A and B are shown apart, each in its own frame.
Chain A
Amino acid sequence: MDLYLQVLAGGVLNGVVYALIAIGLTIIFGVMRLVNFAHGEMVVIGMYIGYWCFELIGISPLAAMPVAALALFALGYVLQLTVVNAFISRPHHVQFILFISFALVITGLHMMLFGPTPRGIFSMASFETFDIGPLRLDMTRVQAAAGAIVLMALLFVFLRFTTTGQAIRAAADSRIGAEVIGIRINRVFAITAGIGMACAGAAGALVAPMFDTHPFLAPEFTLLAFIVVIIGGLGSIPGAIAGGILIGIVEALAAVMINPSMKSMFSYALLVLVLLVRPAGLFGAAGGRR
């Protein structure tokens, strides 16, 4: 019994980080109806930032998180203003290909700059544990989950209580309506893209101690974010959180009960089930279906 509780808690901690990655994807879709196919690549950029911050300056991934978030925000902002805005009213497949080209360029750059070698962070934190009652959790995961929760809370406050946050929500509700009341839509879109990619980058820095960083990790993260977001409902932030934690738990249980290498299979099976029962996801509005 204790083992399962342990596994469950580990799954929830992972799930919180998955939720952060998924929120990045879902906010971009919710506001602009764009599916960022290069999302996993953004996570990997964040992982490299986390790795190099640790290797060169010796700061922990938790401290590297803001660096990664800011860098990815800038990247998202610039990409959106220079290229992506022109693609917002294009058909889906054209947008897919645009993001796939970003993904290829980023992966190529990663390989050219850092090579195929997996790079792991080895610090004392990897061996520390954190005890709550009967549970013993490893420190890096607790830190990552804590970082993700802080960032999600900040994001919530930003979207709820700032003017820019309101503008983003207005644009998500109705693009034309937002333009009519004088919102500079392209700037709002650029900020949204920045936030979405910052979430991915921050999550990347947080998971850098857990997975060895290498250029080909990206598709796994992209697919993970898709699963979470579809299960929760594309465009829904609460859905992304619920979906992230659900997938974290499913993966952890499947890894223990069946076979670690088959854990993602159960996520996909769950995804297919959810799509068939509720095509717009658990938290998706019927009108959100496209």
Chain B
Amino acid sequence: MTRTLPLAASAAALLVFGFAPLALSPYWLSLLTIIFFYVCVGQAWNLMMGYTGILSLGNSLFLGLGGYVTAVLASRYGVVPWIGLPLGALVGAAMGVVIAWLGFRFSVRGVYFALLTIAFAEFFRLLFDNWDYVGGAGGVFLPSLGPDESILLHLRGSGLLFYYAFLVLAAAVTAISALLVNGRHGFFWRAIREDEEAARALGVRARSMKILVVAISGAMTAVAGGLFGLMNGSLFPDSMLGMGMSIEIIIAPIIGGLGTLVGPIVGAFFVVPVTEIANDVGQHVGIFGLNTFVYGVMVFLVIVFLPEGIWPRLRRLATRRQRPDETDGGSDA
């Protein structure tokens, strides 16, 4: 597969989603906004897990830090998000460097690294729960904008604004990921994923490459968290930094297909609507908990019947039909 096809498909998708607000109701736009959000955080996590083989179960930490930096700066000091978001990204990246450096410096790997990330995330959740400066368990609330304040400058307000903000962010995160994984870094990361000792022997500076990918993932997730907080208008430690959020971040890329750029996108487009349908049905029939149950069953079915994810299976079906002699398209995009 050449590079023109993915590029053309991306351009077409951007065009369609760019003009979609003309045709869609606010309900569908908000659904798409959430999907784009999960594309951002899923893509960021996929760089770590899918391409480098670093399992993190604490990515909500980056999300929460980005969200809190942006929101606290805005609500306490009136700092506009255009400054708050990059600062949040810096904090997210710095936290990524700290965790990764500590972890890899002391050769904490695999399951142990995953638990280290959980420990960090839970530590900060409890810290924020008890820290009055950031509102404690009561959370941070962003003041509503005055009539003469600019929506674009303060990034607050309408759903349409966040639809475009998350669309642009999802596209940017995907594009940056594509450039990274198809470039030098991507080859190093995949070499580390396949066999770290061998990669090291070939001269790959494995530890710094791993720290780098965690930092990039942290920065991307933090920006998404900053926008997410602005969109909701309020932030709570449990929803931004909790284990539940970490799990929601990883489910879409795993279901869509790890180690591919399309996987997190396909996963988000699958998981979010199914969650939504489960919520609606649960509310409609008035059975509390039905949504969680349906969600669990769906995740179970996918992991049992499509263990490598939806996208790799689709791609294999498509390529088999076109070129029966080739099993893999050979391109990650």
Binding site for B on A (CB under 8 A): 35, 83, 90, 92-94, 96-98, 100-112, 115-116, 215, 219, 223, 226-227, 230, 234, 259, 261-262, 264-265, 268-269, 271-272, 275-277, 279-280, 289-290
Q: 6 closest A-B pairs (Cβ-Cβ)?
A: A111-B289, A108-B293, A104-B296, A108-B292, A105-B296, A101-B300
Whether A92 and B288, one on each chain, are in contact in the complex, defined by CB atoms closer than 8 angstroms, is no
Partner of B300, one of A92, A98, A226: A98
Partner of B122, one of A105, A268, A279: A268
Query: Distance in Å from the Cβ of B76 to the closest Cβ of chain A?
Result: 23
Residues of B within 8 A of A277 (CB): 106
CA A107 – CA B297 in complex, angstroms?
12
Residues of B within 8 A of A230 (CB): 112, 115, 119
Query: Distance in Å from the Cβ of B10 to the closest Cβ of chain A?
Result: 27
Considering the complex, which residues of chain B in the window 34-70 have a beta carbon less than 8 Å from any beta carbon of chain A?
49, 55, 57
CA A83 – CA B297 in complex, angstroms?
13
Considering the complex, which residues of chain B in the window 265-319 have a beta carbon less than 8 Å from any beta carbon of chain A?
287-297, 299-300, 303-304, 307
Instruction: Contacts A96-B57, A289-B112, A290-B111 given; indicate if A111 touches B296 (C-beta within 8 A).
Output: no
Residues of A within 8 A of B17 (CB): none
Query: Distance in Å from the Cβ of A220 to the closest Cβ of chain B?
Result: 10
Nearest neighbor of B290 in chain A, beta-carbon distance:
A112
Whether A93 and B258, one on each chain, are in contact in the complex, defined by CB atoms closer than 8 angstroms, is yes
Whether B296 and A108, one on each chain, are in contact in the complex, defined by CB atoms closer than 8 angstroms, is yes
Instruction: Contacts A226-B118, A271-B119 given; indicate if A112 touches B288 (C-beta within 8 A).
Output: yes
Nearest neighbor of A223 in chain B, beta-carbon distance:
B122
Query: Distance in Å from the Cβ of A274 to the closest Cβ of chain B?
Result: 10
Whether A108 and B119, one on each chain, are in contact in the complex, defined by CB atoms closer than 8 angstroms, is no
Majority SS at the chain A contact face:
helix
Whether B296 and A102, one on each chain, are in contact in the complex, defined by CB atoms closer than 8 angstroms, is yes
Whether A108 and B254, one on each chain, are in contact in the complex, defined by CB atoms closer than 8 angstroms, is no
CA A262 – CA B127 in complex, angstroms?
8
Whether B293 and A104, one on each chain, are in contact in the complex, defined by CB atoms closer than 8 angstroms, is yes
B18 beta carbon closer than 8 Å to chain A: no
CA A253 – CA B165 in complex, angstroms?
47
B102 beta carbon closer than 8 Å to chain A: yes
Residues of A within 8 A of B297 (CB): 101, 105
Residues of A within 8 A of B126 (CB): 261-262, 264-265, 268
Residues of B within 8 A of A35 (CB): 111
CA A93 – CA B255 in complex, angstroms?
11
B78 beta carbon closer than 8 Å to chain A: no
Whether B288 and A116, one on each chain, are in contact in the complex, defined by CB atoms closer than 8 angstroms, is yes
Whether B307 and A90, one on each chain, are in contact in the complex, defined by CB atoms closer than 8 angstroms, is yes
Considering the complex, which residues of chain B in the window 236-281 have a beta carbon less than 8 Å from any beta carbon of chain A?
243-244, 247, 250-251, 254, 258
Residues of A within 8 A of B290 (CB): 108, 112
Whether A101 and B289, one on each chain, are in contact in the complex, defined by CB atoms closer than 8 angstroms, is no
Whether B123 and A215, one on each chain, are in contact in the complex, defined by CB atoms closer than 8 angstroms, is no
Query: Distance in Å from the Cβ of B124 to the closest Cβ of chain A?
Result: 9
Instruction: Contacts A259-B130, A264-B126 given; indicate if A272 touches B116 (C-beta within 8 A).
Output: yes
